[in-house]
Every structure is written in structure tokens, then in C-alpha cells.
Amino acid sequence: MIFSRKRAGAAQDARDERATEVLDTEDTGDPTPSAPDRGPYDVAEAPDEPRLDLGSLQIPAVPEVEVRVQADPQGVIQQVVLVHGENALQLGVFAAPRSEGIWDEVREEIRQSLFNDGAAAQEAEGEYGTELRARVRTPDGLTDLRFVGIDGPRWMVRGVYQGKAATDPVSAGPLARCLSGLVVDRGQEAKPVREPLPLRLPREVAEQQAAEQEAAGQQPAPGQREA
């Protein structure tokens, strides 16, 4: 795992009383807003271009950016990390209420969690508004992180930059293009606020992985021969 952070112990307090949001009602008749100039986009307003479909997240194809995923045997993705050179961007997408964004609250909880772990974090204004920047101690030494949050319609995308892009946003380059071209498919079902939206491997990749696992399971045990 490229990034690691302890979960804030007090994160699930009174806010859980918001628990589950209600489904959207029918169209109110308000004029349809124009599509934004950049993403992350909601799936209803995203421009048409090639993307890797991971379910709730669709990642644009950007040259020289490697998409690394960690998935369980059922093909459910636990982590998505984009890598370009020595820079990395970890992505997460979460349910949010229709009435308000949650990045301000989440950012404060991240800051408090880092503080409890002995790392100071500072806020800075970035391309998407207020970011959080910190230097944390890892087994490999001190590592700079930059947390970015984008509130969308009933979802929030969180990105965590590592590498030079954590201290110099201009260095993010292709990773920043991936973030600005990201598409979120929230779905219509009600979900608890802050619950991670489901991510899955593309069908062809999941089928290939399942076939490889099945083949590996059919290999003879050490000391045995094939019939």
C-alpha cells in the first residue's frame, strides 16, 4: 500500500446521526446546469472520451500514467493509485448528502488524525480550494502528502498526492489531468454519508484474474505429479 493513515477515532460521532441520505426526488423543473469546464465530473455531465471503468470511478486514459489497483478475490477494489514517474495519486470516492459538501469536515478530521500521529498539517489554497499538506514519518523516512477534496452532487472525491507533486502542484502534470478528467458514477441508491462508493475491476480483467486463480488452484501440490 502506497499510503497509510490511521482512521480518526472520533470521526464516527454525532455526524452518524445523518446516517443514510434519502434518494433524489423527481426533477424539480429547475434549468439543467451547464457542464463544468473540468472534472471530476458527475457521470450525467461528463464529456465523451476513453476511460477505464472501475464502477463508481472512471479514470481517463492519460499517456504514461499507470493505474494500480488492489482488489480482493471477488474483484472488489480496495485501493486505486495512479503513478507517473516518482509521483503518485491515491483516489477515493465517497457518498455525500445532497444538501451540502463534506470535504471541510473530512479535511479537519484528517488534520486531527495526523496531529494525533505526531504530524503537523497545514492548509493551503489549491486548484480545487482548500488543501491539506503534511509531512509524515514512514518506514522509508519522511514523506510529503497533499490531500485534495472535491465535493460533487451527492459524492466527494479525495485525492492524496505523494512525491514532488505533494509540495509542488505544478509537478503533478499527468496525474492532475487524470483528476480533472475523472468521472464519478454515484448511482441512485441511498447510502450512508461517507461510505466509500463501490469500485470493481473491469469485467474482462476480473474474468482473467478468476481464470488465473482457478488455474493456480488446480496445480498439483509439491511432491505430486500431474496425472
In angstroms, the first-to-last Cα distance of the chain is 40
Q: What is the amino acid identity at position 131? A: E
Residues of the chain with pLDDT under 70: 1-36, 204, 206-210, 212-213, 218-227
pLDDT per residue as tens digits for the range 131-160:
999 999 888 889 999 999 999 999 999 999
Instruction: Give the single-character DSSP code of 140.
Output: T
The reported pTM is 0.77
Tabulate helix, strand, coil % of the chain (nearest 5).
20, 35, 45
* Per-residue pLDDT, 209: 63
Q: What is the amino acid identity at position 33? A: P
Q: What number of residues does the chain have?
A: 227
| Kind of pairing between the strands at 129-138 and 66-71 | unpaired
Contacts (Cβ under 8 Å, ≥6 apart) of 143: 135, 136, 137, 162, 166
Q: How far is CA 57 from CA 7, 155, 200, in A?
A: 23, 11, 9
